[in-house]
C-alpha cells in the first residue's frame, strides 16, 4: 500500500508538472511575466527564486499553478511591466496560454506511448485458448491451440486484430487461416450476432464465433516510424473515448459510480508498477490524456472555462465583467468540489468496501 501511494504521487506530480510547464512555457513565449511556478497547493515546503520567477514545492500534491503578472484583478502592475501583464494581452494569447497546459498533457501521453512502442511490449497472441460448443468456430472445426494467422486476407499478429476483423466483417462467411501442428488450415466461418456491453455499459450487437484467447503473450517492438504513427493514433483514440465517456456520463448513460479519483489512481499505479515499468508508463499516459481532456471542459476555474471566457470576449468584443467572472468561478468551484467528493466516495467504496 505504501509503495502504491509513492508510485501514485510520483505519477500525479509528473503529470501536474507537465501540465503547468505547458502554461509556463507559453506564457514566457508570449512575454508574460511569470511570478510563481508551484507544484502542489497550500504551504510551501521548498521554494527558491531564479530570475523573476519563484519556484515552489507545496504541501498538497493534488495540483499546481502558474501565477502570472496581472492575472488577478488585485495585482498591482508597474507602468514598465504593463506590456508583460497577462491582463493586457489580447484574448487569443490568453487562449493559447490556457490551452497549452492540456495540450502538453496530450503530447506527453503520445511521447510515453512512443517510448513503450519502441522499447518493446507484450501482446496477447492469436492462439486459441478455448472453443465453445454450439458456436460457429466449433462447428467449423477450429481447435484449442490453433493459431489464427489470417482473416479475410489480412494478417493477424495479436488478439485485438481478431476482434477488429470480426467488427469489420460483412454478412455471410468469413475466411480464416489457422496454423495447426505446423500446417496452414483454411476455414470458412459464419459469425453469430450477439448482444453484449461495451466499455460504457451500453448494449451493443457484435459478431462472435465462440473462441477465447489463450494466456500466451508474445513480445512486440515497433519501428521508429511505426511507433510515431501508432502513438499519435493511440492518443487520439483514447482522447475520443474519454470525451465520449464524459458526454455519456453527463447524459446519464454511464453510472456516476464509474467516476474515479486520486485514491484509485494511487491503487492502480501501484498495481501497474508491480507488473513492470512498461505497464506503469502506459497507465501514466492514459491518466495524462484524462487530465488534459478534463481540463478542457468549459467549466469556470478549469482551463476550458478560461478559454470560454476569452472566446466570449472575442465574439462580443468586450471583456466579461469581473463580477460575472467571480460568480462563474464560484459555480465552477462548486461543480469541481462536487465531482471530487463523488470521486473520493467512489474510491473509498471501491477500494475499502469492495463495491
- Per residue in 39-52, pLDDT (tens digit) is 988 888 999 999 99
Instruction: Find all residues with CB under 8 Å of 134, minimum gap 6, and list them.
Output: 210
Average of pLDDT values for 256-281?
70
pLDDT band at residue 338 using 50, 70 and 90 as cut-offs: confident
Distance, CA of 15 to CA of 17 (rounded, Å) = 5
Nearest to 88 by CA among 67, 68, 61: 68
- b or e along 293-330 (b: 16 or more beta carbons within 10 Å of the residue's beta carbon)? bbbbbebbbbbbbbbbbbeebeeeeeeeeeeebeebbe
Give 196's strand partners: 204
Write down the pLDDT at residue 207. 87
Q: Tell me which of 129 and 262 has the higher pLDDT.
A: 129
pLDDT at 353 over 80: no
Integer Rg of the chain from CA: 25
Q: Tell me which of 300 and 262 has the higher pLDDT.
A: 300
pLDDT band at residue 239 using 50, 70 and 90 as cut-offs: very high
pLDDT at 215 over 90: no
Write down the pLDDT at residue 301. 85
The catalytic position among 20, 71, 79, 275 is: 20
With cell 516510424, the residue in question is 225
- b or e along 150-164 (b: 16 or more beta carbons within 10 Å of the residue's beta carbon)? bbeeeebebbebbee
What global pTM score does this model have? 0.83
Distance, CA of 202 to CA of 204 (rounded, Å) = 6
What the block records as the C-alpha cell of 237 is: 483514440
What's the full length of the chain, in residues? 355
Average of pLDDT values for 33-41?
92
Three-class secondary structure of residue 136 per DSSP:
helix
**Considering the chain, what is the average pLDDT of its residues?**
86
Distance, CA of 184 to CA of 146 (rounded, Å) = 10
Can 20 be counted among the known catalytic residues?
yes
Write down the pLDDT at residue 273. 66
Task: Work out the number of other CB atoms within 10 angstroms of the CB of residue 271.
Answer: 13
Write down the pLDDT at residue 264. 65
Average of pLDDT values for 234-249?
86
Distance, CA of 7 to CA of 240 (rounded, Å) = 27
Q: In this structure, what are the phi and psi dihedrals at residue 89, rounded to the nearest 5 degrees?
A: -90, 150
State pLDDT tens for residues 55-67: 999 988 778 899 9
Contact 23, 102 (CB under 8 A): no
Pairing of strands 174-180, 154-155: unpaired
Angle between the N-to-C axes of helices 262-275 and 2-29, in degrees from 0 to 180, rounded to the nearest 10: 110
Q: How far is CA 92 from each of CA 43, 89, 292, rounded to the nearest angstrom? A: 33, 8, 19
pLDDT at 354 over 60: no
Amino acid at each position: 500500500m505504501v509503495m502504491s501511494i509513492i508510485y501514485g504521487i510520483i505519477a500525479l506530480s509528473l503529470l501536474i508538472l507537465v501540465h503547468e510547464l505547458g502554461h509556463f512555457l507559453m506564457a514566457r513565449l508570449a512575454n508574460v511575466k511569470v511570478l510563481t511556478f508551484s507544484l502542489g497547493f497550500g504551504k510551501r515546503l521548498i521554494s527558491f527564486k531564479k530570475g523573476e520567477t519563484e519556484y515552489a514545492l507545496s504541501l498538497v500534491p493534488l495540483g499546481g499553478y502558474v501565477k502570472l503578472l496581472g492575472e488577478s484583478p488585485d495585482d498591482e502592475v508597474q507602468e514598465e511591466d504593463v506590456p508583460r501583464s497577462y491582463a493586457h494581452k489580447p484574448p487569443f494569447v490568453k487562449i493559447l496560454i490556457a490551452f497549452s497546459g492540456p495540450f502538453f498533457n496530450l503530447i506527453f501521453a503520445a511521447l510515453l506511448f512512443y517510448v513503450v512502442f519502441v522499447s518493446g511490449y507484450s501482446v496477447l497472441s492469436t492462439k486459441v485458448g478455448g472453443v465453445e460448443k454450439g458456436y460457429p468456430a466449433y462447428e467449423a472445426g477450429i481447435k484449442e491451440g490453433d493459431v489464427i494467422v489470417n482473416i479475410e486476407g489480412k494478417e493477424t499478429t495479436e488478439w485485438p486484430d481478431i476482434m477488429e476483423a470480426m467488427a469489420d466483417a460483412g454478412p455471410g462467411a468469413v475466411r480464416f487461416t489457422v496454423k495447426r501442428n505446423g500446417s496452414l488450415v483454411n476455414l470458412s466461418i459464419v459469425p453469430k450476432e450477439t448482444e453484449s456491453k461495451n466499455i460504457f455499459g451500453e448494449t451493443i450487437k457484435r459478431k462472435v464465433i465462440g473462441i477465447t484467447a489463450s494466456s500466451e503473450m508474445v513480445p512486440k517492438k515497433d519501428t521508429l516510424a511505426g511507433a510515431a504513427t501508432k502513438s499519435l493514433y493511440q492518443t487520439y483514440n483514447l482522447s475520443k473515448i474519454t470525451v465520449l465517456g464524459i458526454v455519456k456520463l453527463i447524459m446519464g448513460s454511464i453510472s456516476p459510480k464509474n467516476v474515479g479519483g486520486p485514491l484509485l489512481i494511487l491503487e492502480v499505479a501501484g498495481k501497474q508498477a508491480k507488473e513492470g515499468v512498461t505497464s506503469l508508463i502506459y497507465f501514466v499516459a492514459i491518466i495524462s490524456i484524462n487530465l488534459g481532456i478534463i481540463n478542457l471542459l468549459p467549466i469556470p476555474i478549469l482551463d476550458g472555462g478560461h478559454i470560454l471566457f476569452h472566446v466570449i470576449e472575442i465574439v462580443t468584443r468586450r471583456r466579461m465583467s469581473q463580477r460575472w467572472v467571480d460568480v462563474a468561478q464560484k459555480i465552477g468551484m462548486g461543480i469541481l468540489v462536487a465531482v471530487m467528493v463523488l470521486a473520493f466516495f467512489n474510491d473509498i467504496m471501491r477500494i475499502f468496501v469492495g463495491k
